[in-house]
Amino acid sequence: MSTPILSAHSLVKHFNAGGFGAARKVVRAVDDVSFELAPGETLGVVGESGCGKSTTARLLVQLLTPDSGSVRYEGKMVGPELPLKSFRSKVQMVFQDSFASLNPRMTMIDAVAFGPMVHGVSRAEAMRKAQDLLDRVGLDPTRFGGRYAHELSGGQRQRVNIARALAFDPRVIVLDEAVSALDKSVEAQVLNLLMDLRRERGLTYVFISHDLNVVRHISDRVMVMYLGEVAEIGPAESLYSAPRHPYTEALLAAMPSLDPDRRTMEAPLAGDPPNPIDPPPGCRFHTRCAHAFGPCSAQVPVSHRVGTGHVAACHLNAKTEEVA
């Protein structure tokens, strides 16, 4: 990969879950997560609820401070080598809840113009930019600019949130379930908008979703998370056609699909993930894995290279090259 535009290095985030001293409990939300993003690519992030997708996203955009590990933008460590303010304009985030993301007392044009003004752009210029951006995301600025968040539909609000992110001229946008709350037809329109914007502006996306069909559609590479760890990461094409982690295989088998090959796979994903306060030893997935064998319950699997740019942390791949 060329110099990554954004990279996560051994990110760890544990949340306090009560108790004191030796009895203190923590939720292991993100445990040693590393990945890189090439400029212009879209990395999809999937996994069941609670596996650490949103926490990873928040760590990546520095809305949360990691317990350990770091984030680098174009090789520079955010904080010591790159001021947070510059980083924030380069890496933006769009959330699932389009309403909560907008100030209810601000008109839509002001909401979009606000960011550039905070970064020193004159009001007149910021307003001009906001008009252009509203127009670009499919909202007529004369019709929608003066409206408030409650006067818009969910899809329209999400368009404003995208315009608001674009107002910073970012290079990366982290989309955390950004289309998940929308009706299917609106979701498709917003996805198309996102793909057009990516092409026009050379944007890099991190696209988090529980919908594997949508992720397949938009992503160049996909990262599969399980209980705070990366189970598998690789090109979307090979990961979907030949998954190399039983968890990925099970997720794909559980996915509503028209593909007859998928329907015949025998890897049901039974029950819920174990409690992240006390994850299973060895491979965290072994308690639900259809292929678990000897080492799985005792040894943490290391990452193995299973194809070009394709890595999986599963003992079944022990004969392939280890990734440091």
Q: Smallest distance, Å, CB 181 to ligand ATP?
A: 12
**53 or 304: CB nearest ligand ATP:** 53
Q: Smallest distance, Å, CB 174 to ligand ATP?
A: 12
**210 or 291: CB nearest ligand ATP:** 210
Q: Smallest distance, Å, CB 114 to ligand ATP?
A: 26
Q: Smallest distance, Å, CB 120 to ligand ATP?
A: 33
Q: Smallest distance, Å, CB 52 to ligand ATP?
A: 4
* Interacting residues toward ligand ATP by CB under 6 A: 15, 27, 29, 47, 49-55, 210, 276
**51 or 160: CB nearest ligand ATP:** 51
Helix (H, G, I), strand (E, B) or coil at 223: strand
**27 or 149: CB nearest ligand ATP:** 27
**110 or 177: CB nearest ligand ATP:** 177
Amino acid at 237: E
Which of 204, 243, 232, 200 lies closest to 220 in space, CA to CA? 204
Give dist(CA 53, CA 211) in Å, integer.
Answer: 13
Question: Which residues in 44-56 are b (16+ Cβ under 10 Å) and which e?
Answer: bbbbbebbbbbbb
Q: Parallel, antiparallel, or unpaired for β 68-73 and 6-16?
A: antiparallel
The CA-atom distances, in angstroms, between 227 and each of 204, 262, 290, 304 are 26, 24, 17, 19
Q: Smallest distance, Å, CB 58 to ligand ATP?
A: 8
Helix (H) or strand (E) holding 204: strand 204-208
H helices of 19-153, in order, are 53-60, 84-90, 108-118, 123-136, 141-144
Helix (H) or strand (E) holding 314: none
**40 or 50: CB nearest ligand ATP:** 50
